[in-house]
Amino acid sequence: MKTFKMLSFDLINKTGGLNIPIIDGIVINQENSHKSWILELFLSKEHHSTFEKYHSSGDILEVHVIISFPDNEPAPFKVIVSEIRDIGEQISVLLKGTIKTKRSKYAEQLLMLLLEENLSKEELLNRFKKGMRERPRLKES
């Protein structure tokens, strides 16, 4: 098993990503034949209802997590909410799933969309960096 520090957590939906501020978090690669991962989030109780909804439904969630260093590219996961526990004034949310290994050439797609906007070199570079960091959902052509 390998463990990693979680720095940021985004819940991805049809309109983009919803950043959920974490107090602390850990990502565990179980290194098993199922290629399973465990994500544990330590959050404010205000997010309990959001995760309870997904726990009850059993829906598979798409999430993006920044691991170890702030400049790392977000790692995409498909997870289910396995458990929610109250810990004092916070909650612990346990997610289980797999990392999405199929990369969709996101950088190339983002760059193509930005090039169509005829931006200055500086604005193109700034918007590209921001897009790679935040990973907004791209419009399908």
pLDDT (tens digit per residue) in 105-123? 778 888 888 999 999 999 9
Q: Are residues 120 and 61 in the same domain?
A: no
Low-confidence ranges of the chain (pLDDT < 50): 141
| Whether residue 80 sits in one domain with residue 21 | yes
- Confirm whether 141 is domain-assigned: no
Q: Do 54 and 110 fall within a single domain?
A: no
Query: Do 95 and 40 fall within a single domain?
Result: yes
Query: Can you give the CATH number for the domain in which 63 is found?
Result: 2.30.110
Overall domain count for the chain: 2
Domain hosting 127: range is: 103-136
Q: Does one domain contain both 56 and 20?
A: yes
Task: Please tell me the predicted confidence (pLDDT) of residue 141.
Answer: 45
Does residue 120 share a domain with residue 59?
Answer: no
Residue 123 and residue 95 share a domain: no
pLDDT value of position 17: 81
What 81-84 contacts at long range (C-beta under 8 Å, 24+ apart), as own/partner pairs, is 81/51, 81/54, 81/55, 82/55, 83/55, 84/48, 84/51, 84/52, 84/55
